[in-house]
Amino acid sequence: MEKETDEAILQRVGRGDEAATAEFYDRFAPSLFAIARRILGDEQEARDALQDGFLYIWDKAADYDPARSKAFTWFVMIFRNKAIDRLRASRRRVRLNETAAVNLLDLESPLAERADLSVERAESAEAVRRAMRSLPDEQRKCIEWAFLRGLTHLQLSELLGEPLGTVKTNIRRGLMRLRDILQEGES
Amino acid sequence: MTERQEEQAALNALHSLDAHERQILHAEIRINPRLRVLAAELEEAASKIALLLPAESPPEDDRALLLKRLKQHRSATVTPIGATFRILRQPGVAWAVAACLAVIAWNSRGVIRSLTQEMEALAQSESTARNVAADALGKVAGLENKLADATDVSQRLAGEITDLKQMNVVARLEVTSLRATVRKFEEGVAVIVWDGEKQEGQLKLEKMPPVQANRDYQLWVIDKKNPAPVSAGVIKVDARGIASVAFKPAEPVPSAAKFAISIEALGGVAKKSSDGPIIFAGPQ
């Protein structure tokens, strides 16, 4: 039997289908928990963020429009943004022992056979890894720190010792390049 | 689409915009389909970074807790219609409620009319606000175009200024060819490029015979108003008799009129003596 798409399962959640919510949780909770943990750096905070995120998805899934975005993008951005809001509200700063020299992502090991991912997602992950590796260091660093530590462009400018305009340009160029590489890979 | 809009869309994808910036971007997205597509594409690209994180299972209890909370959440938001209808089905209550509703409806006519007027007024205000926002965005786009034009002009002018500066540098350089004053050196070539403003120059020597082991070639600059030559350093030629060196006189020479090359003691001398023969001089 063909696996139900992320979009279809999310639309069932939007119709109030509790079984779909349980399936949705089983399919994505480990990935979403990993994001929350990485951003918040605290297990209990991440667990709370996961619960809040799922309640929010339950309320908002009916508004999800598959014509506008992929389901994965929609809920990853919701969870990530909620975790960052939680981090900013707690006024915790970047961990003091971390500097810009720290690599937040392991881009060295190939992901094609990662056990926690389906074959299709492992292929996508590998494409993302290769795309991220191909970015110039200064662009990749800005994106990593903004995505995984929730740093604003002002905080990035402070951390990397770069002018604000340079940071913004690096984010713009890096993200657009990442989009181009991933789109080329899909076509 | 402008670079600023691309930048805002990228920052938005990383949740880096403040509330005000986000509001402006969303207003622009509503009227700019290309920006809408770009913002969605950048969000999709950013979201895929999540695939790089190894999955981590949350504690087992969390699943049951979430499903329980969802049930409670759902029942809290559902209206208890069943219980209400059971009460309303009793005949006396139903008539009383109907009468009350009729009275309320009669009395509410004025309220409804006023609410309708308010809604119409709000709709009109919204429409006006949308027009104002569209005008403002149009003006912003116009200003961005003007800024881009001004930047182009500024860059072009900066290029012209650089060219003019280079022309000015070339104009103030003097090129002098020195003539051999001793027959032995007649085949030699000595050319000087002198920048009087910077008080520095470049000497090129070719076909120069080697000097004795305890001697050196030395360059001199002579001021129009001061007959005492000023040393510009020792010149070493290679085995082929070639030298190309930058030089700067030991002291300022405000109006350099002549240049000369002499053969001096090894390492050169501070002041021109009568011992060292002058082998090149110029201009004549």
Q: Where are the domains of chain B?
A: 174-282
CB pairs under 8 A between A and B: 152
Distance CA B225, CA B253 (A): 9
Q: With bands split at pLDDT 50, 70 and 90, how would you rate the model's confidence at B93?
A: low
Task: Specify the CATH number for the domain of residue A177.
Answer: 1.10.10.10
Q: Element (H or E) spanning B198, and its range?
A: none
Residue pLDDT, tens place only, A7-54: 999 999 988 888 898 899 999 999 999 999 999 988 999 999 999 999
Q: Which of A146-150, B77-81, B270-274 has the lowest mean pLDDT?
A: B77-81
pLDDT of residue B76: 64
Q: Element (H or E) spanning B204, and its range?
A: strand B200-206
- Whether A64 has a pLDDT exceeding 50, the answer reads yes
Q: Average of pLDDT values for B226-239?
A: 91
Interface of B with A in 47-66 (CB under 8 A): 47-59, 62-63, 65-66
Q: Is there a single domain that holds both residue A138 and residue A167? A: yes
Percent of chain B with pLDDT over 90: 27
Residue pLDDT, tens place only, A122-134: 788 888 999 999 9
Q: Is there a single domain that holds both residue A33 and residue A115? A: no
Q: Does domain B174-282 have CATH number 3.40.50?
A: no
Q: Is there a single domain that holds both residue A173 and residue A126? A: yes
Distance CA A51, CA B192 (A): 82
Residue pLDDT, tens place only, B11-31: 999 998 888 888 888 888 988
Residue pLDDT, tens place only, B161-210: 777 666 666 677 788 889 999 888 988 999 998 888 888 999 999 999 98
Q: Is there a single domain that holds both residue A40 and residue A105? A: no
Nearest CB to A81 within list B15, B62, B65: B15
Could you tell me if residue B15 is left (phi over 0), alpha (psi between -120 and 50 degrees) or otherwise beta?
A: left
For residues B163 and B155, the answer to whether their CB atoms sit within 8 Å is no
Interface of A with B in 98-137 (CB under 8 A): 105-107, 111, 114, 116-117, 121, 124-125, 128-129, 132
Kindly report the nearest CA distance between residue A50 and chain B, in angstroms. 9
pLDDT of residue B279: 93
Domain that holds residue A137: 95-187
Q: Which residues from chain A sit within 8 angstroms of residue B41, using beta carbons?
A: 179, 183
The conformation of residue A38, written as its DSSP 8-state character, comes to: H
Q: Is there a single domain that holds both residue A162 and residue A119? A: yes
Q: What is the pTM of this model?
A: 0.54
Task: Specify the CATH number for the domain of residue A70.
Answer: 1.10.1740.10
- Whether A140 has a pLDDT exceeding 90, the answer reads yes
Q: Rounded to a whole number, what is the distance in angstroms from the first to the last CA of chain B? A: 66
Q: Average of pLDDT values for B61-66?
A: 89
Domain count of the fold of chain A: 2
- Whether A96 has a pLDDT exceeding 50, the answer reads no
